[in-house]
């Protein structure tokens, strides 16, 4: 196996810094791979290509978290159009209004401080 220059997480984070949602593609399996990995979970191959998502997806599942202190928020599983699923949240909408099947668009959330950016989603216009 060829030694990689940067870890898959570092490459993923670099894409987020540029405002992109990156994922890996397995040519051997013909499938998207997410979360970033060194080895394809379908074939065992180390041949994984980086691609950038168009940032569109559909809410697969959602729940509302009601913390003891602070405001409620949702946690959602998002099926991206490229064929991978990730856990995130849908913003700019009441947590209770997020529905399964809702179309969403990616954006980068930058919490600041020492926290790295991470992907969140917003409702797609007209959805």
In order of 29, 82, 104, the CA distances from 79 in angstroms are 19, 8, 10
pLDDT at 111: 85
pLDDT of residue 1: 43
Please give the DSSP secondary-structure letter assigned to residue 8.
Answer: H
Domains of the chain: residue spans and CATH: 8-52 (no CATH), 56-123 (2.40.50)
pTM for the whole thing? 0.87
Q: In the block, which residue shows the tokens 């989603």?
A: 121
Task: Tell me the average pLDDT across 6-20.
Answer: 93
Contact (Cβ atoms closer than 8 angstroms) between residue 95 and residue 73: yes
H or E element that contains 13:
helix 8-17
Tell me the per-residue pLDDT of 52-94, one tens digit each, with 9 for 90 and over. 999 999 999 999 999 999 999 999 999 999 999 999 999 999 9
Predicted pLDDT of residue 96: 95
Q: pLDDT-derived band of residue 43, with 50, 70 and 90 as boundaries? A: very high
């Amino acid at each position: 196996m060829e030694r990689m220059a940067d870890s898959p997480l570092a490459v993923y984070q670099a894409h987020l810094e540029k405002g992109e949602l990156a994922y890996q593609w397995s040519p051997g399996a013909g499938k998207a791979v997410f979360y970033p990995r060194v080895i394809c979970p379908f074939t065992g191959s180390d041949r994984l290509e980086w691609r950038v998502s168009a940032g569109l997806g559909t809410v697969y599942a959602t729940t509302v978290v009601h913390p003891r202190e602070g405001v409620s928020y949702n946690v959602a599983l998002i099926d991206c159009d490229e064929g991978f699923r990730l856990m995130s949240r849908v913003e700019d909408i009441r947590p209770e209004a997020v529905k399964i099947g809702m179309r969403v668009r990616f954006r980068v959330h930058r919490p600041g401080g020492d926290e790295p950016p991470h992907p969140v989603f917003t409702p797609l216009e007209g959805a």
